[in-house]
Amino acid sequence: MTASVAALRRRLRIPSLPHPSQVVVTGFAAAILVGTLVLMLPAARVGEGGAPFLVALFTATSAVCVTGLVVVDTPSYWTGFGEAVILLLIQLGGLGIMTAASLLGLLVSRRMGLRSRLTAAAETKSLGIGDVRQVLVGVLRVTLAFEAVTAVLLTFRFALGYDVPLGRAAYHGLFHAVSAFNNAGFALYSDNLMGFVTDPWVALPISAAVIAGGLGFPVILELRRQLGRPKAWSLHTKLTVMMTAVLLVGGTVFVTASEWSNPGTLGPLDPAGRLLAGFFQGVMPRTAGFNSLDTAQMYDGTLLGTIVLMFIGGGSAGTAGGIKVTTFVILLLAIYAEVRGESSVNAFDRRIGSRVQRQALTVALLAVASVVVSALVIMEMTEHALTDVLFEVTSAFATVGLSTGITADLPGAAQLLLVMLMFVGRLGPITFASALALRDRRRLYQLPEGRPIIG
């Protein structure tokens, strides 16, 4: 908006349009509020009376923010109606996140100059400067396609492999498919998915849905068009796919090797079962809260490594949380360039601008501050071990949902802090990054350069 238009608005007392980030935050807050009120209805809870406000608020926030952390046992506490409400909130949250992130990316490209817009269109090959309807329809089609395929596979497995009645098998298949693609981690079993630890027909479809949802809509759309032409992929897609593959392989190897002889996790399984469970647990920090092993029984070293994987998260404009793999890889590339003494940061024959580097650094440092401060506050409230608290806080901020089992035991104030972390962790990186990109202040002069001592 130009200065003259802004001045005219002030003279005519025309209210300014809200920032797109404000619209996204308000929309998600409204969805959480409505979900909380519905879950407080007596029809949503098993037994007499409705759920307490804090339980309903925590569950609604976890569902809308596709996290998966819970303070009550989902299958025994909620009725079929309550589970359906949770499923709807997960779906709305996942669609809203992918749509909001994609549209904010589209808006950012339109606010650039013509040359920058054309460059962005050529680089992304997914959002570009197309219309909003195409983005909305694309997100809906991608979501429903992945969820449908996963639901069908799980339905047949539950019905044929576990003699579950077809109707119930279809319901379980649909619920877990939606929860998996949206990286939510809600399950209809009290032990999550520990009962299927050695079943590849359950573990692998859910893992595939989690990975796909964590890639992000722009990447999925581009891979669909140019899967066999990796040289033609945009820089964003190359970085996302490369780093996702590295983290998946690295996470699988790390968890499997670290827990191989742990009698509380992988130890009792045969070698094939250990490899499958290790892969599943390596995928889940992408950020889905499913677990086929007892997280509370893992070694502290495994928990610390999982915290790092959760903090990094998945791809941008997707259902995964964390600081995002692109943020992480850009910081790594910046460190690599600085160590080599290079003046610019490069990747795949492209130069990464200094502004993008500053945005990545800002997002990462604010995320670190959020996790550390929250962990300190909860440590002051409780007597839980540092590793458990840090794991829970990171899981909430990165909207993962993995838990060592202490969430339900936390005092109300600590649970409210986790609610805030889930909300900020889900919407913060999206809205803050877009706000940084849309905020363009040009300084007409430059100050003399200073060189403070570093290190």
Question: Using CB atoms within 10 A of its CB, is residue 80 exposed (0-12), middle (13-18) or buried (19+)?
Answer: exposed
Helix (H) or strand (E) holding 361: helix 354-381
Answer for the pair 285, 323: CB distance below 8 angstroms, yes or no: no
Q: Which of 37-41, 136-140, 264-268 has the lowest mean pLDDT?
A: 136-140
132 located within any domain: yes
How far is CA 300 from its chain centroid?
Answer: 24
pLDDT value of residue 180: 95
Write the DSSP string, 27-50.
HHHHHHHHHHHHHTSGGGBSSSSP
Q: What tokens appear for 87 in the block?
A: 């499923």
271 located within any domain: yes
Whole-angstrom Cα distance, residue 321 to residue 437? 19
Q: 3-state DSSP call for residue 350? A: strand
114 located within any domain: yes
Q: Which of 126-135, 161-170, 262-271, 412-421 has the lowest mean pLDDT?
A: 126-135
- Highest mean pLDDT among 12-21, 376-385, 439-448 belongs to 376-385
454 located within any domain: no
pLDDT value of residue 112: 42
- Alpha-carbon distances, residue 221 vs 173, 227, 441 (angstroms): 25, 10, 33
Query: Per-residue pLDDT for 37 more than 90?
Result: yes
2 located within any domain: no
pLDDT value of residue 455: 67
104 located within any domain: yes
> What's the average model confidence in pLDDT over 292-313?
95
Question: Each residue of 101-113: pLDDT tens digit?
Answer: 555 555 555 444 4
pLDDT value of residue 325: 93
Whole-angstrom Cα distance, residue 158 to residue 166? 8
450 located within any domain: no
Q: What is the Rg, in whole angstroms, of the alpha carbon atoms belonging to the chain?
A: 22
Q: 3-state DSSP call for residue 400? A: coil
* Domain span including residue 138: 19-438
What is the CB neighbour count within 10 angstroms for residue 116? 12
Question: Each residue of 421-440: pLDDT tens digit?
Answer: 999 888 776 565 555 555 55
pLDDT band at 224 (very low <50, low <70, confident <90, very high): confident
Q: Classify residue 268 by its DSSP letter.
A: T
Whole-angstrom Cα distance, residue 50 to residue 412? 18
Question: Each residue of 57-116: pLDDT tens digit?
Answer: 999 999 999 999 999 999 999 999 999 999 999 998 887 766 655 555 555 554 444 444
pLDDT value of residue 13: 56
3-state helix, strand, coil in the chain (%, to 5): 70, 0, 30
pLDDT value of residue 7: 56
Maximum separation of any 2 CA atoms in the chain, in Å: 75
| Domains held by the chain: number | 1
297 located within any domain: yes
